[in-house]
Amino acid sequence: MWPVLRSHRPRLFWTGPLMTKTTAIQDQTARIEELIHKLETSADPRTLATARELVQSLMELYGAGLDRLTEIVASKGAAGLEILDELGRDELVGNLLAANGLHPLDLETRVRRALEKLRVRVRSQGTVDLMGIDEGVIRLRVRSTGSGCGSTGESLQSMVEAAMYEAAPDLTQLSIEMVEEQSAASGFVPLEKLAGIHVAANGAANGRGAGI
The predicted model gives 74-82 an average pLDDT of: 93
d(CA 169, CA 162): 10
Q: Where are the alpha helices (DSSP H) in the chain?
A: 17-42, 45-74, 78-89, 91-99, 107-122, 150-167, 191-211
- What pLDDT, on a 0 to 100 scale, did the predictor assign at position 95? 83
The predicted model gives 175-195 an average pLDDT of: 62
Q: Which of 25-34, 59-68, 166-175, 200-209 has the lowest mean pLDDT?
A: 200-209
* Residue pair 149/167 in contact by the 8 Å Cβ criterion: no
Label residue 105 left, alpha or beta by phi (over 0 means left) and psi (-120 to 50 means alpha): beta
pLDDT in tens, 126-178: 899 999 999 999 999 999 886 555 567 888 998 999 889 888 888 999 999 99
Q: Which of 14-28, 61-75, 102-116 has the lowest mean pLDDT?
A: 14-28
Q: Which of 16-30, 64-78, 89-103 has the lowest mean pLDDT?
A: 16-30
> Could you tell me which residue, 137 or 5, shows the higher pLDDT?
137
The predicted model gives 92-116 an average pLDDT of: 90
- What pLDDT, on a 0 to 100 scale, did the predictor assign at position 131? 95
Whether this model's pTM surpasses 0.75:
no
Query: Mean pLDDT score of the chain, rounded to an integer?
Result: 76
Angle at 57 between CA 68 and CA 92, to 5 degrees: 55
Q: Which of 50-59, 154-163, 186-195 has the lowest mean pLDDT?
A: 186-195
Go through the domains of the chain in sequence order and give each one's CATH number. 17-99 (no CATH), 107-186 (3.30.300.130)
> Does residue 39 carry a pLDDT above 60?
yes
Share of the chain above pLDDT 70, in %: 70
Long-range contacts, 131-137 (Cβ 8 Å, 24+)? 131/177, 133/107, 133/108, 135/172, 136/107, 136/170, 136/171, 136/172, 136/173, 137/171, 137/172, 137/173, 137/174, 137/175
d(CA 128, CA 118): 8
